[in-house]
Amino acid sequence: MTEIKHLAADADPQIISDTLTRDGALVLDNAVDADFLAQLRAETDPYMDATADGSDDFTGRLTTRTGGLLMRSEKCREIIGDPRILAPCEKFLAPYCERVQLHLTQIIRIRPGQGAQPIHRDRWAWGKHLAHIEPQFNTIWAITDFTTENGATRVVPGSTKWQDDEQIPPEQITQAEMSAGSVLIYSGSVFHGGGENRTQSDRIGINITYTLGWLRQEENQYLSSPPEMAKTLSPELQQLAGYAMGQYALGYYTPPGAPGVYPELVPPEFALNEDDTSATMGTAADLEAVSQIRRSKH
């Protein structure tokens, strides 16, 4: 059984990306402190406590999943936009896209008595059509300690190239034990699943995941963070949520209104600032990237 590598929270982004490519998972130790976690819980516990348990075996009948964190919590916004995460994320996904975007925000609380989740790949959110690329850079922030007994995430290091129908030997599965404030980083291709909680306390983690800018997001950020609310976010978070072109000619829209009131083709940012008409189909760099793709096919 291969153990999960632990790195310092400020590890070099290239080392994180290389480790993730090789192993499919790693842990950054002690990324945030106890005061940060206390403030985060003060903001998010009311939403978590109001969330019902799952209704099927995969999501967990003794597991709660609370989303919409971009607009619900300032501290969650800090971890979503943490440069220690975004820098390796962009390096890791750069071969497959021009822009990364926020894919999912979710508090996962595994209650006492919850059994282990089936081992799976997160890239299966799009079916099994993406075996030829890596579509995701995923994180689980430990809000409580993650232990073998309370359901630390089960991971199969080195499994990113395995077939989708691979039978996983139990001896290949390890668990991402880590202290509260640490963060598990894992790819969309690594086999993993929530662990069994054999204790009398909740295991709480926050799942923040990122994906290629041209893929549909698992959590619909436009509905969770509609324009009138997204206006309050920083430009960086607005772009992560999807208020930006995915690449050239990917994501523009036509504003509804009377003839001639608005420009005909505008980028998503226009929904946040109707005075900005500086871009439509994307940037010159985006167009050049598409042109290179076209040239390579001929």
Domain assignment present for residue 231? The answer is no
Residue 232 lies in a domain: no
pLDDT of residue 47: 98
Contact criterion met (CB below 8 Å) for 171 and 159:
no
Asked if residue 198 belongs to a domain, the reply is yes
80-87: long-range contacts (C-beta < 8 A, 24 or more apart)? Answer: 80/105, 80/208, 80/237, 80/240, 81/234, 81/236, 81/237, 81/240, 82/31, 84/9, 84/10, 84/28, 84/31, 85/139, 85/183, 85/185, 85/208, 86/210, 87/13
Would you say residue 25 lies in a domain?
yes
Last residue of a domain, one of 212, 229, 255: 212
Q: How far apart are CA 31 and CA 6, in angstroms?
A: 12
- Identify whether the C-beta of residue 173 lies closer than 8 Å to the C-beta of residue 154: yes
Q: Could you tell me the residue range of the domain that residue 294 belongs to?
A: 245-298
Residues of the chain with pLDDT under 70: 1, 276-298
Check if the beta carbon of residue 248 is closer than 8 Å to that of residue 283.
yes
132 and 69 both lie in a single domain: yes
Residue 208 and residue 290 share a domain: no
Structural domain count, the chain = 2
CATH of the domain at 31: 2.60.120.620
Domain identity same for 266 and 193? no
Q: What is the C-alpha to C-alpha distance for residues 241 and 81, in angstroms, rounded to an integer?
A: 11
pLDDT at 2: 84
User: Within a domain: residue 263?
Assistant: yes
Q: What pLDDT does 97 receive? A: 96
Query: ∠ at Cα 40 (67, 193), nearest 5°?
Result: 50
- Asked whether residue 217 is domain-assigned, the answer is no
48 and 169 fall within a common domain: yes
Sheet with 203-212, edge to edge strand ranges: 6-8, 25-29, 183-187, 136-142, 203-212, 100-110, 63-66
Q: Is residue 46 part of a domain?
A: yes
For 161-201, the pLDDT digits (tens) are 999 999 999 999 999 999 999 999 999 999 999 999 999 99
**Are residues 197 and 255 part of one domain?**
no
pLDDT for res 275:
75
147 with 266, same domain: the answer is: no
**Whole-number pLDDT of residue 249:** 87
SS3 label, residue 241: helix
Q: 45 burial class (0-12, 13-18, 19+ CB within 10 angstroms)?
A: middle
pLDDT digits (tens, 9 = 90+) for 138-172: 999 999 999 999 999 999 999 999 999 999 999 99
Verdict on whether the full-model pTM lies above 0.75: yes
**Percent of the chain whose pLDDT exceeds 70:** 92
Whether 166 and 260 map to the same domain: the answer is: no
Query: Would you state the pLDDT for residue 227?
Result: 96
